[in-house]
């Protein structure tokens, strides 16, 4: 039995995601029993990158047109420069992320992934990290940016780069597991 049994986690991504920043967290979540779905602006496959070079493709499980953010217990935002920049221009993607922000549900964002959180109103007052080039963007949006391997602030866990994935995955699973134990048991609620 995994720590995340019964959880359904969305990984929001599109073409241009950093390959290991999607595949590693997905593997870590599935190893803990979570049902993970890659959600995107389009169906089919999305193109990953290994920094500047094309990497592997990943099959999309559901499109934003076909999902309800309320059906997911947590959200993962992988980086890559192209991916979050494209998502910022997609109103449905911003609304999807905003649903998690407004509902104070757990979000894990790595590298350039926090860019999307800016547009969804999810960084003001948060202590967080990211790829260094986002420092000014995040600070201008009201975040307290720090250069640390992984940062947890409330329902948000952030990390800087692929080298930080082990720490990121560990804290992501920990955060998502806490939210499971914090949920009331429907059998005991009257």
111 classed as catalytic: yes
Strands 35-40 and 127-128 come out as: unpaired
Q: Which DSSP string do the residues of 82-121 spell out, in sequence order?
A: HHHHHHHT-HHHHHHHHHHHHTT--EEEETTTHHHHHHTT
In this structure, is the dihedral angle defined by the CA atoms of residues 37, 75, 21 and 16, taken in order, positive or negative?
Answer: positive
- 15 pLDDT more than 60: yes
Per the residue annotation, which of 111, 117, 157, 165 is the catalytic one?
111
- pLDDT bracket for residue 30 (50, 70, 90): very high
* pLDDT averaged over every residue in the chain: 94
In this structure, is the dihedral angle defined by the CA atoms of residues 93, 141, 15 and 163, taken in order, positive or negative?
Answer: negative
- Mean local confidence (pLDDT), 73-85: 97
Please name each of the domains of the chain with its CATH number. Answer: 8-180 (3.40.50.880)
- Mean local confidence (pLDDT), 1-17: 95
Per the residue annotation, which of 40, 90, 112, 155 is the catalytic one?
112
- Mean local confidence (pLDDT), 98-113: 97
pTM above 0.85?
yes
112 classed as catalytic: yes
- pLDDT bracket for residue 21 (50, 70, 90): very high
């Amino acid at each position: 039995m995994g720590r995340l049994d019964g959880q359904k986690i969305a990984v929001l991504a599109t073409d241009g995601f950093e390959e290991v920043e999607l595949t590693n967290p997905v593997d870590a979540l599935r190893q803990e029993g979570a049902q993970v779905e890659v959600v995107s602006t389009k169906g089919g496959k999305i193109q990953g990158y290994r920094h500047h070079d094309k990497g592997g493709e990943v099959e999309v499980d559901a499109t934003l047109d076909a999902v309800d953010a309320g059906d997911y217990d947590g959200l993962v935002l992988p980086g890559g420069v192209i991916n979050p920049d494209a998502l910022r221009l997609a109103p449905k993607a911003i609304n999807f992320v905003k649903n998690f922000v407004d509902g104070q549900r757990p979000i894990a964002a790595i590298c350039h992934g926090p860019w999307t959180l800016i547009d969804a109103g999810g960084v003001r007052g948060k202590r967080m990290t990211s790829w260094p080039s986002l420092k000014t963007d995040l600070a201008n949006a009201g975040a307290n940016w720090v250069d640390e391997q992984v940062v947890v602030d409330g329902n948000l866990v952030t990390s800087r780069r692929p080298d930080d994935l082990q720490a990121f995955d560990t804290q992501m699973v920990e955060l998502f597991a806490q939210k499971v134990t914090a949920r009331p048991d429907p059998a005991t609620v009257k």
